[in-house]
Amino acid sequence: MATSLVLADVHSNLPALQAVLQDAGRHAIFDTVLVLGDVVGYGAEPNECIERLRDYPCVIVAGNHDLGSVGRADLSQFSAEAAAACAWTAGRLSLASASFLSALALSAVQPPFMLVHGSPACPVWEYVVSASRARALRASCPQSHCLVGHTHVPAAYDMEAGASLAASAGARLSLRDGRFLVNPGSVGQPRDGDARAAYAVFDTDEAVLQWFRVGYDVEAAAAAIIRACLPVSLAARLRVGC
């Protein structure tokens, strides 16, 4: 059985990433890990998260925080706390991590998917939050389906019907018929009111994608943020998942 792990918005949250890798490992051995950007930013362990992901065969695209942390995006485009976290991250990155982030592409193809952080039309910055927008974006997606991150909210849209589909923990979506735009949710900074880390698994043989949530040591991640003198609000939001 060929299986891909689908991750987005890790945001330097090592306890969340470790919990996801461990939990996902119970379902299958992964041929590929598809990472939809924002490996770094907000959290306190950027190098550790990059190194952990590089243990796996990964396809990774750049998110706005990845770009902002290596001078590839102007920090004036970020909120104050996001810009502060990018600047902090820039000062912490190892040489290897910085060159890794500097080399990330803005989009990638891993059939049947196009991978971007934002949207197929605006790969870094657009938040896709409606079925009507997902439908309009189908012309910009050269693959059958599109995997996105950025909103930190699990979601699935039928790009042909312009409909929202279930994407809560346990939901399963067959990709055999139709074209879909899918967000696995955020590993390291969920924003849907559920503090648990989010991820998805794609079974290539069955063409079925499934969403999962797993609890992790939120207090360890929050304590690392506070120790690092990052904005305290970044620690607080992890506890409530928004």
- Residues lying near Zn ion in the complex (CB under 5 A) are found at 9, 38
Find the shortest distance in angstroms from Cβ 174 to Zn ion: 28
Residue 144 CA to residue 237 CA, distance in Å, equals 35
Nearer to Zn ion by C-beta: 83 or 208? 83
The residue type at 16: A
Our measurement of the distance from residue 84's CA atom to the centroid of its chain's CA atoms, rounded to an integer in Å, reads 20
Cα torsion through 209, 212, 218, 224, rounded to 10: -20
Find the shortest distance in angstroms from Cβ 186 to Zn ion: 7
Nearer to Zn ion by C-beta: 15 or 149? 149
Nearer to Zn ion by C-beta: 38 or 203? 38
HSE (side-chain half, CA atoms, 13 Å) at 76: 0
What is the DSSP annotation of 85-133?
A: HHHHHHHH--HHHHHHHHT-BSEEEETTEEEESS-SSSTTT-----HHH
Find the shortest distance in angstroms from Cβ 130 to Zn ion: 19
Nearer to Zn ion by C-beta: 133 or 191? 191
Find the shortest distance in angstroms from Cβ 45 to Zn ion: 15
Residue number closest to Zn ion, CB atom: 38
